[in-house]
């Protein structure tokens, strides 16, 4: 009996100790596991805001630009990025920053948008632009407008002050001016360089894109211009905008991809913000901007994977050009299948770069 009592008390002691050891082990494992999962989950330094711009893709390669021209492009792209960054530091909205940055590029004669817009077949400038707010999928676009100093400002007015998405021509322009857009006389858009391009295109009876190059035996000049901006703001909202003069010597009221939501411009907070440049017809056929977003939304692709897949699609339909995009985490891409693309990126982590040539 005594032995049994002793045995029982020992037995309880051992059980209690076992319980203690097991619960300690469980507790220890729990702490180790939590710590480990914290390490592996720890996000890479969070990007608070990010801004990416382009000034057109095409035959941009070393040796084609003078040192001064190179400097001018770099300076203007830098000014645009730095201005955008200042606004983003002050928590300005992505949509506002897209507008302000594109305005700088439109005011420069270097790019095929606003001041530097190319001439159409009848010898005047017809411009297209669009903007999209990724937080609510609201968007605004204008096509074939002639007298807005900053077409992107007009696109934002369409988005915010009309019940519509897409306006064209004189009546669209009139609506924008009534609602505060700045009017510019046609003479404002005259630049010697663009006029020469126009006269040459007329002579060759060619429709030309900006930033030219003769790339193949066909003697066809491949030129792409246009400006675009995509932004992630400090509140996590995305926006995209694109502005262009279209093609030199364009006829019949031709409209490209730049003002077409889903083709040249797209933004959705769930996925990314995109702006394209290149021969618009292919970007419209391929719904290039929307495709990048859709691959992320429906196939769970990363931005990079979606961009590469979409460039492959552009190649497969013989489209030439490129695009920029940023996602909700601040990841970005600047992809093109031409020789170069004027482009730049700046983010809250201090990463800054302006480039123009391909590898």
Give the active site residues.
226
Nearer to ligand ASP, 264 or 340 (CB): 264
Please state, in angstroms and as integers, the Cα–Cα distance from residue 101 to each residue in 61, 182, 242, 250, 344, following that order.
25, 16, 11, 27, 12
Residues in region 224-263 near ligand ASP by CB under 6 A: 224-226, 244, 246-247, 256-258
Binding string, 111-130, against ligand ASP, x = CB under 6 A?
-x------------------
Q: Cβ neighbours of residue 278 under 8 Å, at least 6 residues apart?
A: 57, 209, 224, 257, 314, 319, 320, 321, 322, 336, 338
Please state, in angstroms and as integers, the Cα–Cα distance from residue 13 to each residue in 9, 59, 239, following that order.
6, 84, 67
Q: Is residue 151 within the footprint of ligand ASP (CB under 6 A)?
A: no
Residues in region 261-290 near ligand ASP by CB under 6 A: 264, 277-280
- Mutual angle of helices 94-107 and 67-89, in 10-degree steps: 160
CB burial of 141-177 (b: ≥16 within 10 Å; e: otherwise) equals: bbbbbbbbbbbbbbbbbbbeeeeebbbbeeebbebbe
Smallest distance, ligand ASP to C-beta of residue 247, A: 6
272 pairs with which residues across the strands? Answer: 327
Smallest distance, ligand ASP to C-beta of residue 34, A: 51
Q: Per the structure block, which two tokens stand in for 223?
A: 């030129």
Nearer to ligand ASP, 87 or 283 (CB): 283
Smallest distance, ligand ASP to C-beta of residue 322, A: 9
Residue 105: phi and psi, rounded to 5, are -70, -35
Nearer to ligand ASP, 88 or 113 (CB): 113
Smallest distance, ligand ASP to C-beta of residue 357, A: 18
Q: How many CA atoms lie within 13 A of 11 on its CB side?
A: 6
Smallest distance, ligand ASP to C-beta of residue 30, A: 57
Residue 306 to residue 298: CA distance in whole angstroms:
11
Smallest distance, ligand ASP to C-beta of residue 36, A: 49
Nearer to ligand ASP, 49 or 282 (CB): 282
Binding string, 188-217, against ligand ASP, x = CB under 6 A?
---------------------xx-------
Q: Is residue 56 within the footprint of ligand ASP (CB under 6 A)?
A: yes
Nearer to ligand ASP, 280 or 330 (CB): 280
Residues in region 84-113 near ligand ASP by CB under 6 A: 112
Are the beta carbons of 338 and 59 closer than 8 angstroms? yes
Q: Which listed range, 75-83, 222-230, 266-274, 348-356, lies at the site for ligand ASP (CB under 6 A)?
A: 222-230
Q: Is residue 319 within the footprint of ligand ASP (CB under 6 A)?
A: no
Number of residues forming the site for ligand ASP (CB under 6 A):
18
Q: Per the structure block, which two tokens stand in for 233?
A: 């703001």
Nearer to ligand ASP, 112 or 237 (CB): 112
Smallest distance, ligand ASP to C-beta of residue 233, A: 25
Q: Which listed range, 22-30, 90-98, 220-228, 231-239, lies at the site for ligand ASP (CB under 6 A)?
A: 220-228
Binding string, 9-48, against ligand ASP, x = CB under 6 A?
----------------------------------------
> By the criterion CB under 6 A, which residues form the site for ligand ASP?
56, 112, 209-210, 224-226, 244, 246-247, 256-258, 264, 277-280
């Amino acid at each position: 009996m005594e032995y049994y009592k002793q045995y029982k008390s020992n037995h309880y002691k051992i059980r209690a100790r076992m319980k203690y050891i097991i619960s300690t082990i469980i507790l220890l494992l729990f702490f180790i596991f939590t710590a480990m999962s914290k390490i592996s989950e720890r996000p890479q330094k969070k990007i608070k805001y990010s801004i990416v711009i382009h000034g057109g893709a095409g035959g941009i390669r070393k040796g084609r630009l003078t040192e001064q021209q190179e400097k001018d492009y770099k300076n203007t792209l830098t000014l645009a990025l730095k201005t955008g960054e200042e606004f983003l530091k002050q928590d300005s909205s992505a949509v506002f920053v897209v507008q302000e940055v594109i305005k700088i590029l439109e005011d420069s004669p270097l790019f095929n948008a606003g001041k530097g817009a190319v001439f159409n077949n009848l010898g005047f400038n017809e411009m297209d632009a669009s903007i999209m707010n990724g937080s609510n999928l609201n968007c605004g676009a204008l096509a074939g407008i002639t007298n807005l100093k900053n077409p992107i400002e007009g696109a934002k007015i369409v988005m915010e002050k009309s019940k519509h998405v897409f306006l064209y021509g004189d009546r669209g322009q009139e609506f924008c001016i009534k609602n505060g857009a700045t009017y510019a006389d046609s003479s404002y858009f005259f630049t010697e360089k663009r006029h020469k391009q126009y006269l040459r295109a007329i002579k060759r009876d060619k429709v030309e894109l900006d930033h030219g190059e003769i790339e193949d035996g066909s003697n066809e000049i491949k030129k792409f211009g246009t400006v675009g901006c995509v932004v992630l703001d400090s509140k996590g909202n995305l926006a995209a905008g694109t502005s262009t003069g279209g093609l030199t010597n364009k006829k019949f009221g031709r409209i490209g991809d730049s003002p077409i939501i889903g083709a040249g411009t797209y933004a959705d907070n769930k996925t990314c913000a995109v702006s394209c440049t290149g021969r618009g017809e292919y970007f419209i056929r391929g719904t290039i901007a929307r495709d990048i977003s859709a691959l992320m939304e429906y196939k769970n692709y990363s931005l990079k994977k979606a961009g590469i897949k979409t460039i492959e699609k552009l190649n497969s339909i013989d489209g030439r050009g490129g695009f920029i995009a940023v996602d909700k985490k601040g990841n970005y891409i600047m992809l093109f299948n031409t020789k170069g693309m004027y482009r730049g990126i700046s983010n809250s982590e201090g990463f800054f770069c302006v480039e123009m040539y391909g590898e």
